[in-house]
Amino acid sequence: MKTRLLLHTCCAPCLSSCLLVLLGLRKQEKVIEKPTDFEVTIFFYNPNITSKEEYEKRKNEVYRLLNIYERDLNRRVEILDDDSLSDRENWIEFVKEYKDEPERGKRCELCYYFRLRKSFEIAKEKSFDAVCTTLTLSPLKNTEKINLIGEELSKSTAIRYIKSDFKKNDGVKTSIEICKKYNIYRQNFCGCEYSKR
């Protein structure tokens, strides 16, 4: 029986290679703790994204990538609606004390927590077995912190967290190649106004 996985997704470039791993189309060894057969559902939840235009651009690219994978790999993956835009002000309030922190600092940790907490809430509400995030693909993100936050949220919700390091097994290189092949938009900043500096 497949594990019903809610995959928090930050953008199409990160999703591109992470999804292949979770669907069993790329090696899972070293990337996730234990090779598993997943039924993946995408949750694009990113209230940190600086503007509605940027948010829509990134979300549309996620949909486009999923359509490409359905066409080329014959793998259909569902995506849940999100309320990122309506949560934007809550996100700003949550991180504002640390707006001047450098990238990978306290603000980023709070941002990981904010997005993963919502992912776990949705997973619980919709009876998913587990949660994972594409955030661990980025070389600019603190994988250890992300996984610690996921494990803490797992304890408090009784929803399994799939610990990952999607950078392994050439995850970033694969993502770049896929984005080039399909002309996927690759943004040059994480998402929030503060990461543009």
Per residue in 13-25, pLDDT (tens digit) is 999 999 999 999 9
| CA distance linking residue 35 with residue 122, whole number of Å | 24
**Residue 39 pairs with which residues in a beta bridge?**
4
Domains of the chain: 3-196 (3.40.50.620)
Q: Give the predicted TM-score (pTM) of the model.
A: 0.95
Closest-CA residue to 150 (of 140, 142, 160, 141): 160
163-194, pLDDT tens digit by residue? 999 999 999 999 999 999 999 988 876 766 76
**Residue 38 pairs with which residues in a beta bridge?**
3
